[in-house]
Structure 1
Amino acid sequence: MRKEIVVNLPIKPNEVPALRELVGWEGRHSDYPVLFERCNFWAGLRGDQEELIAFGYISGMGLQHGYMEDIIVHPQYQRMGIGQALVTGLLQEAERIGIEIVTLTYDAKHHSFYADCGFVPCSGGLWRKE
């Protein structure tokens, strides 16, 4: 399988919610296509049947700092290096457009994955509407 991550890959509005649901997340159907209009950029990968198998994006003001979110790899394609290629592709695009700091939040079980991608753990906070 090729692992060519494509920045701003053309994606239909229903594809990301379907991929989110495949990994056990809420689909958030109302976020798409609005997300594509508001984030700095996204990246993705299609499988041999042209199905969306990986997706992630960076949002922010487009200045020095960006926030990486929704790093998703289809369950059948996990542990094949696609996630790391996705994160690397997003970080390369961030660097290309001048974003110098990228933050993200992740479940503790993914610590080694993000450390291998070059992220350094740091303290932070989270506010969430009740």
Structure 2
Amino acid sequence: MIDYRLSAPITNAALNDLFGAAWDGYQQRDFAAQLKHSLLYVCAYDGARLVGFVNLAWDGGAHAFLLDTTTHPDYQRQGIGAELVRVAVEAARPRGIEWVHVDYEPHLAAFYRRCGFQHTEAGLLNLREISGE
């Protein structure tokens, strides 16, 4: 049974272990500043093991942004990612959020459609690319 926890204390080690298992080429980072400025985040646990995570950042008003939806590879295709998104969206409602945005790679379009998101046009500017980094 998977336990979903809303903005519960989480360590960098647990998050880095999850992201390292789930993302090719992942480099460890410090999540403290990101989580400090989040509206909320949701963690999925199998016992004491972190198996999923999603962050909901916000603009201080009516818009929030899903970031870093991640499920451990051993737990994928079991509905955990969709449940993480559902819990985050439902928790955003009483906090005055009217719009939840998400950016995703094309291979994730069907997943986010199943989560209720509609495709929209958007713009993106990579500051590293234009600065020559």
Q: Match for residue 40 of structure 2?
A: 41
Q: Match for residue 53 of structure 1?
A: 51
Q: Match for residue 97 of structure 2?
A: 99
CA distance in 2 between counterparts of 1:45 and 1:122 reads 28
Listed as ranges, the gaps of 5+ residues in structure 2 are: none
Q: Please state whether the residue corresponding to 2:12 is helix, strand or coil.
A: coil
The higher radius of gyration belongs to 2
Q: Match for residue 12 of structure 2?
A: 13
Structure 1 segment 41-120 matched on structure 2, within 5 A: 41-48=40-47, 50-120=48-118
Listed as ranges, the gaps of 5+ residues in structure 1 are: none
Would you say the 8 A contact 2:2–2:46 is kept in 1?
Answer: no
Over the matched positions of the two proteins, sequence identity in percent amounts to 25
CA gap 1:51/1:27 in 2 versus in 1, 3 angstroms: farther
Q: Over aligned residue pairs, what C-alpha RMSD do you find?
A: 1.3
User: Scaled by the length of structure 2, what TM-score is found?
Assistant: 0.89
Q: Structure 1 residue 34: deviation in Å? A: 1.4
Aligned residues: 127
CA gap 1:4/1:62 in 2 versus in 1, 3 angstroms: farther
Would you say the 8 A contact 2:44–2:50 is kept in 1?
Answer: yes
Q: Structure 1 residue 127: deviation in Å? A: 1.2
Would you say the 8 A contact 1:23–1:75 is kept in 2?
Answer: yes
User: Scaled by the length of structure 1, what TM-score is found?
Assistant: 0.91
